Amino acid sequence: MAGESPAVNGAKVLRLQQALAALVDELRTVEADSDEERRLIRLVPLLLAEVGSALPDPLLDELEVLVGRRPAELSPSAARVVLAQLSGWLTALAAEGEISLAAGPQAVPPRS
C-alpha cells in the first residue's frame, strides 16, 4: 500500500544486530583516541549504510537527523552515540514483534 514502510527483513536485521553488538563490545575494550578505536570507527559508515537499508522509513528519517549526511565525518564520541541508538532501535524492532529473536532469523511473523 502507498505510504506504508516495506516489511522489515528479519534475517538481515538480526545479522546487523549481531554485527553492531560485536562492534559496540569491541569499542568498549579499546582506549579512546587509540589507533584501534579509529580503525573500528571507520567501520561505522559501512554499518550505517547496511542498517539504513533494513530500517523502516520513520527510523531512516531519524537516522539521517542523528547522523547527518556525512557519516564518515562522525567523531569517535558521536559514532559511539549513534551505535548506542542503533542498538536500541534494532532491539526495539525485535521486541515489538517485528522479529522473533528466540525463534531464529527465519521467523518473521506475517503482518496483519
pLDDT digits (tens, 9 = 90+) for 56-83: 888 888 888 888 777 778 888 888 888 8
Establish if 109 belongs to a structural domain: no
Establish if 81 belongs to a structural domain: yes
* Phi, psi values for residue 75, rounded to 5°: -70, 160
pLDDT at 108 over 50: no
Establish if 17 belongs to a structural domain: yes
Establish if 112 belongs to a structural domain: no
Q: What is the rounded average pLDDT of the residues 11-31?
A: 84
pLDDT at 17 over 60: yes
Establish if 88 belongs to a structural domain: yes
Establish if 48 belongs to a structural domain: yes
pLDDT at 2 over 60: no
More confident residue, 109 or 44: 44
Establish if 103 belongs to a structural domain: no
Q: What is the rounded average pLDDT of the residues 29-52?
A: 87
Domain count, the chain: 1
Domain of residue 71, residue span: 10-95
More confident residue, 72 or 108: 72
What is d(CA 5, CA 24) in angstroms, rounded to the nearest whole number?
28
Establish if 105 belongs to a structural domain: no
